[in-house]
Structure 1
């Protein structure tokens, strides 16, 4: 076994995952520990950051054991996480973000939509920061949530002394450093990394957050991804089962780490990187497009400078509920129940059986708009609602399979809608690099190729997101001269699937109907 190893940590919506990797990008051990979510209201979702830290530590220790690794072998560590908001007092103790008043619920989860009104208020300012947020502020970004917190929980705001994106919280917990990643600040806090000064004081004052930099202990300058932020403190090293010689790098938002893992290999050819789209697909889906110049795209977040790779611009689209939508439909249908992995497999297998007889025309009068949790891209409408057209009285398992199939079609068409929007802004996307939970869903993986007309590449990495964070860890540890060099050296390649050209006529019809349904929904909404 190599004498030098790297630890990567990826904190998602429901679990913390850790991996032990070599400097060549090989995954030696992986472990996952669950985390709780508190839902006191339909639009509220909260985490306990201390529980998240405990889950991270448990996952790291277990991954080290599986890998047969020793603490002194680990040279670098990197954290990614969802763009959830952690609030602490001046002494670093948890502060409640919950209407229940419990301090243990100190983290607003990324998918929380309590700040819809505040997001709309940001949009009405017309400030130029919106040009670097897709033209529309999402309630999933931090500024609207901070506005909500200040107005609705003034005691928490008064006592606050530190506020973090979750990835930066984990770096602080590990090292004591208040450094903040360029990924998190640029994408979620209206920090304009390409300008000086990067913080737009007039915007913060307009939305009532003139005291934000002081209350959140925010730095004047963000730290580039992969830069060294500190070594593990003795207490963190003890918690994680590592040593104080372990160096920590500035991390990323979780989906961005996945993009780094699958697109980092193209960093040596930025001129053609805009042909490639990263699709990080799980509970929700994120699409990441990189380019050498800024390409503002309405309804698509960004352009963000240096948010994944140094000197490269990022546009980020997404679908707020994809895997979560399929789970929801299984729970909703009378033939469904608990959306276990086996249930998804059983449905996929039955879909393939039904298609042997009906082909791609299976349930082709059933149509879905998948915006059950709003449309993040390219419409940028958090108030958008899902639509199902073509239901009958059927309630057996096959009717569930038909609905599941057509919902999968709609999810893939939603990706096509995003990439076609990007292509109008100068991209030439013809290749999708897919990672995340959807790679285990044969129905979706087929549709991502056939319904978009793109070549689909499934990363050969066992976990592309952990690979991205290992690239960060290797850079911080000094194993490579730069993040670019780490990406090229550690990339794992992938398996390609070309689109089935015989399926094109069916999906062209489906896409035309998809666009027409969007138009009809807009008309109905204006009538309401």
Structure 2
């Protein structure tokens, strides 16, 4: 009996595979690292074949640990970062660079090389940009492709396939060039609610009139919860599975997390509109759903059918959250490599210092967290971060003070984003948290207390994999629909109410946060 699925999450630094049963229980999970080539803070690339190899290792190890034969697996689904994979007419990598035997054919999601192109696209004020927050991000695929055509015409001339990473994974697994509606609508400026999703006049205006031909892009997408096709013989062998396993349409990783934490109410549209999924990892995403579209500056979307049928998705976000905390550890003399163990050591010391010093702990340190630009509410990839209140303290406790105030700044920025979403008609009562931030008690506390909202945390440490498993279960026929899979596989959750007294204390921090933003803008004009 095929009553299990495999979910694969391709994140910024690793590929993770989990075996999940029909009830949504994550039986085991295995992880394998993936390498990234980085040049400065604007260039980041992957080798897609290395990503596929890492995925195969993780899947085989997970299957072996679960002690399940391939005949028990009904379906496989991928979620991934919105990285851009380039392939030629033979399906071979189109390498942007070659180094140490690797072919770097994939522009990472966090790559900002196309900032100028993104600004040019935003400057067109094309009506389509209303569905991209009025200003397109360099993290989207269209500006990256505009950069590619301008700067690497040699690769453009040889191109045949441009894939979102999740779609590349399903292509590598099935041989099908079908694309997911999830990736097309959210990262490619494809309007799923229109009769023809692509806008030829928009593409012509930005010099990409030949994009669909060069990229092998379809006129229609495949909905989440639907199958792309079965595994090929080659892929089945590499993954340790068989060709009766079907592969679901891929998902953007954050959207898989949203499905994982909101799946329990997938059949209740009114309840969906009162919740926001907060997916915290290297960056953070806030995702809402509604039956009607909501528009707003810096809000990505509204995207139709990106996850749930007949629902509009809106995404807001922070470009560097977990990534900022990692950066601060590397930057400080007492920091070191940002391993989970090192984060725990810092967090434990922060808690002890807060207990000893009370509300005055690090109170004169103030941080703007835009170290990798700002997605929301400013939609400005060129904004920079700032730290005010530094002294000559280079001790471990000094690091802990900076770390704590960075966590506060991340939460203050979250509050500002929520206020921007409210102005667009999105008024959530609860935040559903998932991702790596669930393991950081400082952020869990601050997200509730700074925003003044109830926080809902699932009783699973990997709602992203569970959301991807829901997609696989629907595609594999274990459930009749995506909503049914969401309800049937959702994990129980616990609720945390905000501390009203602490919320009042953070009001002063928020006023200072806004003042620092004004001062930054003033400095930029001098």
TM-score (norm: length of structure 2): 0.98
Between 56-65 and 324-333, report the one with greater CA deviation: 324-333
SS at match of 1:268: coil
Distance 2:40 2:156 in 1: 21
After superposition, the C-alpha distances for 1:452-492 in whole angstroms (9 at most, x for unaligned) are 11111111124101111111111111111111111111111
After superposition, the C-alpha distances for 1:22-42 in whole angstroms (9 at most, x for unaligned) are 111011111000000011443
- Which residue of structure 2 lines up, in the alignment, with residue 320 of structure 1? 319
Please give the residue correspondences for 1:405-484 in structure 2 after superposition, counting only pairs within 5 Å: 405-484=404-483
User: Following TM superposition, by how much is the alpha carbon of 1:441 offset from its aligned partner in structure 2, in angstroms?
Assistant: 0.8
User: Following TM superposition, by how much is the alpha carbon of 1:103 offset from its aligned partner in structure 2, in angstroms?
Assistant: 7.5
Please give the residue correspondences for 1:133-152 in structure 2 after superposition, counting only pairs within 5 Å: 133-152=132-151
- Which residue of structure 1 lines up, in the alignment, with residue 164 of structure 2? 165
- Which residue of structure 1 lines up, in the alignment, with residue 64 of structure 2? 65
Q: Is the 8 A contact 1:27 1:462 kept in 2?
A: no
- Which residue of structure 1 lines up, in the alignment, with residue 278 of structure 2? 279
User: Following TM superposition, by how much is the alpha carbon of 1:63 offset from its aligned partner in structure 2, in angstroms?
Assistant: 0.6
Please give the residue correspondences for 1:509-524 in structure 2 after superposition, counting only pairs within 5 Å: 509-524=508-523
SS at match of 1:451: helix
SS at match of 2:324: helix
Distance 1:304 1:522 in 2: 31
Distance 2:159 2:522 in 1: 45
SS at match of 1:95: coil
- Which residue of structure 1 lines up, in the alignment, with residue 366 of structure 2? 367
Distance 1:469 1:42 in 2: 30
Distance 2:102 2:351 in 1: 49
Residue 49 of structure 2 corresponds to residue 56 of structure 1? no
- Which residue of structure 2 lines up, in the alignment, with residue 340 of structure 1? 339
After superposition, the C-alpha distances for 1:272-308 in whole angstroms (9 at most, x for unaligned) are 3222111111111111111111000111111111112
After superposition, the C-alpha distances for 1:299-357 in whole angstroms (9 at most, x for unaligned) are 11111111121111111111111111111111111222222222211111111111112
SS at match of 2:104: coil
User: Following TM superposition, by how much is the alpha carbon of 1:203 offset from its aligned partner in structure 2, in angstroms?
Assistant: 0.6
Distance 1:33 1:284 in 2: 20
Please give the residue correspondences for 1:24-173 in structure 2 after superposition, counting only pairs within 5 Å: 24-98=23-97, 104-173=103-172
Please give the residue correspondences for 1:236-275 in structure 2 after superposition, counting only pairs within 5 Å: 236-275=235-274
- Which residue of structure 1 lines up, in the alignment, with residue 3 of structure 2? 4
User: Following TM superposition, by how much is the alpha carbon of 1:151 offset from its aligned partner in structure 2, in angstroms?
Assistant: 1.0
- Which residue of structure 2 lines up, in the alignment, with residue 188 of structure 1? 187
User: Following TM superposition, by how much is the alpha carbon of 1:117 offset from its aligned partner in structure 2, in angstroms?
Assistant: 0.5
SS at match of 1:62: helix
SS at match of 2:267: helix
SS at match of 1:299: coil
User: Following TM superposition, by how much is the alpha carbon of 1:259 offset from its aligned partner in structure 2, in angstroms?
Assistant: 0.5
Distance 2:502 2:284 in 1: 24
- Change in Cα spacing, 1:163 to 1:289, as seen in structure 2 (3 Å) is same
- Which residue of structure 2 lines up, in the alignment, with residue 291 of structure 1? 290
After superposition, the C-alpha distances for 1:243-294 in whole angstroms (9 at most, x for unaligned) are 1000111011011100110112222221232221111111111111111110
- Change in Cα spacing, 1:102 to 1:144, as seen in structure 2 (3 Å) is farther
Structure 1 unmatched runs, 5+: none
After superposition, the C-alpha distances for 1:422-457 in whole angstroms (9 at most, x for unaligned) are 112222212111111111111111111111111111
- Which residue of structure 2 lines up, in the alignment, with residue 201 of structure 1? 200
- Which residue of structure 1 lines up, in the alignment, with residue 210 of structure 2? 211
Q: Is the 8 A contact 2:223 2:307 kept in 1?
A: no
User: Following TM superposition, by how much is the alpha carbon of 1:165 offset from its aligned partner in structure 2, in angstroms?
Assistant: 0.1
Q: Is the 8 A contact 1:361 1:506 kept in 2?
A: no
After superposition, the C-alpha distances for 1:334-390 in whole angstroms (9 at most, x for unaligned) are 222222222211111111111112223311111100000001111111010001111
User: Following TM superposition, by how much is the alpha carbon of 1:99 offset from its aligned partner in structure 2, in angstroms?
Assistant: 8.7
- Which residue of structure 1 lines up, in the alignment, with residue 223 of structure 2? 224
Distance 1:414 1:310 in 2: 31
User: Following TM superposition, by how much is the alpha carbon of 1:100 offset from its aligned partner in structure 2, in angstroms?
Assistant: 7.4
Distance 1:360 1:305 in 2: 45
* Poorly superposed stretches of 4+, deviation over 3 Å: 98-103
Distance 2:228 2:88 in 1: 22
After superposition, the C-alpha distances for 1:167-218 in whole angstroms (9 at most, x for unaligned) are 0000000001111011111111110111121100011111111111011111
Q: Is the 8 A contact 1:79 1:469 kept in 2?
A: yes
Residue-pair matches, total: 526
- Change in Cα spacing, 1:277 to 1:360, as seen in structure 2 (3 Å) is farther
- Which residue of structure 1 lines up, in the alignment, with residue 505 of structure 2? 506
TM-score (norm: length of structure 1): 0.98
Distance 2:294 2:158 in 1: 40
